[in-house]
Structure 1
Amino acid sequence: MPNKLFFTNLGGILVYAVIGTCWNAASLGLSLWGCHQGGAMGDIDIGLLQYLLFGSLMAAVDPVAVIAVFEQVHVNEVLFIMVFGESLLNDGVTVVLFNVFDAFVSLGGGAIDAKEIIKGIVSFFVVAFGGSLLGFVFGLLVSLLTRCTKNVQIIEPGFIFVLGYLAYLTAEMLSLSSILSIVFCGICCQKYINLNMNENSVQTVRYAMKVFANGSETIIFVFLGISAIDKTIWVWNTGFILLTLLFIFVYRFIGVFFLTWILNKYRLVPLDFVEQLIMGYGGLRGAVAYGLAAMLDEAKIKEKNLMVCTTLIVVYFTVILQVSAQSFMFGCCCL
């Protein structure tokens, strides 16, 4: 994680991660609800709040595969950090947004007034920024602790894993964003850990993290593949599925181009058309979207299986087809 580059472009990253995520969630949910009202999906039992809940979970952009392609072809560092930074913060924002709409669904449309909406907005910022602040606190704690561990090199790497996980658990316990907590914990302590710890311990942590990260990614996609053969979740609605695929693709591009048009008025290094096209095309959906779909309460969401089925199809479509096409295009450009 290039910290200096990340904080230099933090304003733009936050615009894409926060405003862009809210745009993707609201536009998809409202568009599907409008099509439902027009009779495009037949007789399914989904209300406006449930559509917005589905839109919030589908807003989880997961450009891991795109980042892998970026590293292979060595794209410019600004484009890399914009996509990478958005992917880091987007997941946390999406989970917070999902929890807000899930609470609204539990309340029911009749119980939601201006007071509840204001409470939801305030809750969104408290959970997101509270988790980030907690992560910084734990990052400082790790940084201070590693100043005193050079004489205990055997267990020195263990402190990083234990305290990092503790930052995650503490945020969960306080109902704050655990994803943002662990992200900002890592950002805060990265520089100090490299300087405070013994070089052997730093290398141990670095390679252990790579092993855990690659293993986790593999396990996640194996799990997605196994889930696809579960016949109980396959509830088909052609209108719902095709419209979801269309809207997430179209609104992703609209959001990226519109937000970039605004940002380019203030950026010293504006993003050109090709870079915006790549960012829009890199709006993949992955494990976070499926995980949130699986967490839906069937007692509140009667069409849960339809939403899970649609999420799986969207994940396969974006990861397999979009990444394959993007890899082909990058390969052609390199040649």
Structure 2
Amino acid sequence: MDLYNAFALLLVAAAAFAYLNQRFLRMPQAIGLMMLGLVASLGLLGLARFGVKAVVDLAVLVNKLDFSTFVIQIILGFLLFAGALHVDTRRLGRLRWPVGVLALVGAPLSTALVGGAMYGLLPLFGLPTPLIYCLVFGALISPTDPVAVLSILTKANVSKDLETKIVGESLFNDGVGVVLFVVTLEVALLGSQQVTLTHALGVFARETLGGLALGTGLGLGAAWLLRTIDNYQVEVLITLAVVAGGTALASRLHTSGLLAMVMAGLLVGHFSRSRGVMAEVSQDYVDKFWELVDEVLNALLFVLMGLEVLVLNIPGRTVLAGLAAILVVLVARAVSVAVPLGLLRVRRTFQPSEHSLTILTWGGLRGGISVALALSLPAELPRELLVGITYVVVVFSIIG
């Protein structure tokens, strides 16, 4: 019952904040909801200092929600499928080189740069941290959040090619980033002497290739089923089953469920829009259903991120380290975008636009996925430090 109460509270808060944002602030949903969640949390923290029982009970309810499981295994799977479902796959196909290179080169490069920089900076704040733990932080903070990106891009007046580039890179970047996080965390827990390069590459391949293969199978299977019937209720149910069953299966197979949902969403979206696969009425219902799922879960995610302040312990030194990490992450993002763009310039078929570097750097928002990965860290690591720094960077990324 406590879990139900916590979820009910989250849903009520999301509805209230969404109304206030739409009625008064009129900001992009991701920014408005997180700001209102943060303001509410800070106000409640002030009341908690006076021992207000209702606030203490509220903090207990929020703490009962397993943020990591809730976000990575439930919310993000549905959100990534919904986001990929509406991507223009033909335009994405034309931009496959920039999207692929940005995700596959950018995420590992950013992980290395952030990890190395934080290893040198943290001792300055009296927080010396082993290099492998800094690399774990680099891996969890490098994924850009497609949920936040999609939420904000829908309000921005950017070209369709640039929007596809940013969204496509973000969708695949987070999958690669999560795989890097799994590998670096395994090295941190087992020790570098017990994890060989072959083992690490095997884990990376299993997570990445396995996730892409699973998503391809699910997407093609769902597209075939959708082609053989004409009933929008069943067709919506099939897409729901793909996400719910696919993420559960990916967890059992130890592959990347997030990459699987991106591939499944892209394939279902592509084939469902092909002539003769789905009736126009069914297509309309499926699109509207997933747009609604996207909006509701998006609201829940960013309100939850705001309310997490109630249960996080972030000391002053950690806040200062987080402020330094903001600059580190921005510089690392700029470099990890500039290098792939430089490689792409060699291909005369793709020439980045004048402002690609600036827009891709600032468009690399960090959000729920980074917070969820940080909160999933075990107690053997400096968990409170890494969670605190991550939260500071994420708040700046979305609001700043």
- Are the aligned partners of 2:319 and 2:389 in contact in 1 as well (CA < 8 Å)? no
Indicate yes or no: 2:308 matched with 1:227: yes
Percent pairwise identity: 26
State whether residues 215 and 263 of structure 2, in contact with CA within 8 Å, keep that contact through their aligned partners in structure 1. Answer: yes
Stretches of structure 1 that go unaligned for 5 or more consecutive residues are 322-335
Q: Is the 8 A contact 1:132 1:180 kept in 2?
A: yes
Q: Distance in 2 between matches of 1:288 and 1:276?
A: 23
For the 8 Å contact 1:157–1:202, the answer to whether it is kept is no
- Does 2:93 align with 1:7? yes
8 Å CA contact 1:147, 1:197 repeated in 2: yes
- Mark the CA change 1:12 to 1:236 in structure 2 (over 3 Å): closer, same or farther: same
| Partners of 1:127 and 1:175 within 8 A in 2 | yes
Q: Which residue of 2 aligns with 1:330?
A: none
1:33-182 aligned at under 5 Å gives the runs 33-36=119-122, 39-44=123-128, 46-62=129-145, 64-112=147-195, 116-150=196-230, 152-182=231-261
Q: What displacement does 1:143 show?
A: 1.5
Secondary structure at 1:40's aligned position in 2? helix
Counterpart secondary structure, 1:176: coil
The code of the aligned residue for 2:167 comes to: F
1:152-173 deviation digits (Å, cap 9, x = unpaired): 4442321121123222222121
Query: How far apart are residue 110 of structure 1 and its match?
Result: 4.0
Q: Unmatched 5+ residue regions in structure 2? A: 1-86
- Asked if the contact 2:125/2:317 (under 8 Å) is kept, the reply is no
* 1: CA distance, partners of 2:303 / 2:90: 35
Displacement after TM superposition at 1:50 (Å): 0.8
Task: Supply the distance in 2 between the matched residues of 1:238 and 1:202 (Cα, whole angstroms).
Answer: 47
**Matched ranges for 1:311-322 at <5 A:** 311-321=390-400
8 Å CA contact 1:41, 1:238 repeated in 2:
no
Instruction: Provide the alpha-carbon RMSD of the alignment.
Output: 1.9
The number of equivalent residue pairs is 312
- For 1:249, the equivalent position in structure 2 comes to 330
User: What is aligned with 1:333?
Assistant: none
Assess if the C-alpha contact under 8 Å between 1:26 and 1:55 holds in 2: yes
Is the CA contact 2:215–2:261 (under 8 Å) kept in the aligned structure 1? yes
Give the letter for the 2:271 counterpart.
Answer: Y
Out of 93, 117, 122, the residue aligned to residue 31 of structure 1 is: 117
* Counterparts of 1:204 and 1:59, CA distance in 2: 35
Task: Please say if 1:237 is aligned against 2:323.
Answer: no
CA contact (8 A) 1:168 1:182 kept: yes
Q: Give the counterpart of 1:213 among 269, 287, 294.
A: 294
Confirm or deny that 1:20 pairs with 2:106: yes
Secondary structure of 2:144's counterpart equals coil
Aligned counterpart, 2:49: none
Q: Would the alpha carbon gap of residues 65 and 178 (structure 1) be closer, same or farther in structure 2, given more than 3 Å must change? A: closer
Q: Which residue of 1 aligns with 2:263?
A: 184
Alignment TM-score, normalising by the size of structure 1: 0.87
In structure 2, distance between residues paired with 1:267 and 1:68: 32
Q: CA deviation at 1:81?
A: 1.4
Flag as ranges the 4+ runs of structure 1 deviating above 6 A: none
Report the 3-state secondary structure (helix = DSSP H, G, I; strand = E; otherwise coil) of the residue aligned with 1:259.
Answer: helix
Structure 1 counterpart of 2:218, which letter? Answer: F
Ranked by relative contact order (alpha carbons within 8 Å, sequence separation 6 or more), the top structure is 2
The amino acid of 1:163's aligned partner reads V
The one-letter amino acid paired with 1:142 is: A
1: CA distance, partners of 2:168 / 2:250? 21
Give, in whole Å, the separation in 2 of the partners of 1:178 and 1:242: 32
